[in-house]
Structure formats: C-alpha cells, structure tokens
Amino acid sequence: MEKFTSENALSFHERFRSDLDCKAYLAELKWKDGFVCLKCNHVKATVRKDHSRCCTRCKHIESPSSGTLFHKVKFGLHKAFLIVFEMSATTKGLSSSQMGRRYGIKRQTAWLFMQKVRNGMKSSGKHSMTGQVMVDEFVVGGKEANKQGRSYDSKKKKVVCAVELTDEGKVKRMYAQRIDDFSARSLKGIFDAHIDPKAKVMTDEWKSYGVLAKQYDITQLPSNNGMNMKQLHNLIHQVKSWVRTTYSWVHKGHMDRYLDEFCFRLNRSIHKDTIFHNLVTRMVQSEPTPYNSIIVRR
C-alpha cells in the first residue's frame, strides 16, 4: 500500500474520493500482517469488492472498519476520513458544530465521532521523557478576580503538563492530563506515565514537587511570572486559548481527550506529512468505543 503523506487538501481529495477508497486503505492497514478469522481462526480469505474479507472455511465476512474506531460510522467512511484529516492537519482544530455544518451531519453525531478520533490520539505511554523536562500546573476557565496563586474553584479544570526540551532549548514534546487537585499524589500521575526517573526536571517552588523530589531528579526555582520556564508557559497559554476560542467550554470528564488532541498534533509538528496516516493506523489498532464509554453523566 502507498502510504498517504501530505497535508494538502487537494492531494487528500484526489486519493480518497469515495467510501470504497477509504475501505481499501483501512483493509491494507488492518490486514497488513495477514487475515485471521474472528470466528474460527482460519487464516485464508477471499477479498470482496468492498474490500471486506470472507473466511474460506466458515464464510464469516469481516469489514475493514469492524473492530476499529471506525466501527459502525453512521455517515460513511468518506466523511469519517475527512474529519480525521481535518483534526490531524488543521493546527487549531474545529468544533463539532463547525464539523457538522461542513459535512452535513448532526452536531452530536460529529462530536461523538470526534471523541473517538481523540481516543486514537491518546499517548501509548511507551516513550518516557528522558532529557530536560519542565512541569507545571494550570487551570482552564480563567482567573478569579483579585486572587493570586492556585485556584481551588471546583468549576475550573485543573491540569498538569510536562514539556521535554531539546539540547537547544526548543520544545521536543508535551504531555498533559487533568488532575483533581494540586497534591503530590495527583501530580505524580504525569511523572509515572511520561517522565523517566533519570530525567532532569524543573518545576516551580510549589510544595508538592518537593515531595516528589524523593523519587525524581527535581530542581525547584521561583516562577518569576513564568519567565524561568518560558517554553512551558507559552504552551500553557496556547492550550488555554485553543480551548477557549475553539470549543468555548469543555466538560471536565472530557478534558483529557482534548488535551490528547493538542499534544498529539504538537508532538508530530515536524512530521505533519505522515500525521494522518499515523492517526488512521492508531484508530485501526484501537478497540471500538461504545457510546456509553464516551458520554459523561452529569
């Protein structure tokens, strides 16, 4: 299979003109290591016109989208691929309302599929940060009037983020996750998930980082209004502006998915030509996401 490698919308439309083109691409990714029947484990199949596979033993038919995050897409694979392309190639992203209007589908339907795409953007956690790392926390929801320091307002989404720098001091990659509070126990989550114990970590003087310094190589410096960790605070500003201007409001139960989207694009900013292929591959390798696992009950 020829891997799609472009950010160009015209090239995309030339490659993927119909549902059948998208099914062919999914089929090549799904069965690149060979076919195994889900019913009888037989390894031989015939290829149908719609690129599905029919087991030569039990005659079970499996579509290219089944068992993936494209499973039972209600509006067709062509539109689904267009949404994935938009979410991977568009720097600032689009809201579900905009996506729905653009492709003629209901806002809620677009939103549900976009959440599945964000599930595909979630980090595998297999590649820990090992170099110079900066860590800080922030809230999404704006500042409280006449108040300094960390906000404990329950309506604000609390987030901790970590940025790894290159030897030249440029941003190499970023990870972020929502936290319940600013305790050492909550902050430790991002250390365990993404930071190697040998990494050189820089934080501000918040007391909870002092507790974590027993396990990690942490240097604490005065914040100096963010100037001592300028690269990190520039990204924090970008995250907050992106959420505010694109989505207006995000439920805290979905916050991690939106953070995964931001970090996924940022971490692949120097490989934008392959970002679509990378994301579709992840979605093919992921299990289907049922409706009830996405919806947050208020």
In whole numbers, what is the pLDDT of the chain averaged over residues?
Answer: 92
Let me know whether 70 and 158 are in one domain: no
pTM equals: 0.92
d(CA 61, CA 54): 4
Give the CA-trace dihedral at 105, 245, 264, 2, to 10 degrees: 50
As for how many domains the chain has, the answer is 2
Looking at residue 150, its pLDDT comes to: 62
Q: Are residues 142 and 54 in the same domain?
A: no
The answer, yes or no, to whether residue 146 has pLDDT greater than 50, is: no
pLDDT single digits (tens) 98-137: 999 999 999 999 999 999 999 999 998 899 999 999 999 9
Residues 20 and 51 in one domain: yes
Alpha-carbon torsion angle 190, 196, 201, 205, nearest 10: 40
Domain extent, residue 209, equals 132-255
Going by pLDDT thresholds of 50, 70 and 90, the confidence category of residue 297 is low
C-beta separation of 204 from 136 below 8 A: yes
Assess contact for 115 and 292: CB atoms under 8 A: no
Does 94 share its domain with 141? no
One domain for residues 183 and 240 = yes
Residue 2 in domain: no
Kindly give the residue spans of alpha helices, DSSP state H, lying in the chain: 9-15, 19-30, 77-89, 96-103, 107-120, 184-194, 207-212, 230-242, 255-267, 275-285, 291-294
pLDDT at 142 over 80: no
DSSP letters for 41-63:
----EEEPTTS-EEETTT--EE-
- Classify residue 266: in a domain, yes or no: no
Task: Quick: pLDDT tens for 154-181.
Answer: 678 999 999 999 999 999 999 999 999 9
pLDDT interval class at 248 (50, 70, 90) = confident
Residues 150 and 249 placed together within one structural domain of the fold: yes
Q: Are residues 116 and 138 in the same domain?
A: no
> Looking at the structure, do residues 107 and 141 belong to the same domain, yes or no?
no
pLDDT per position as a tens digit, 6-63: 999 999 999 999 999 999 999 999 999 999 999 999 999 999 999 999 999 999 999 9
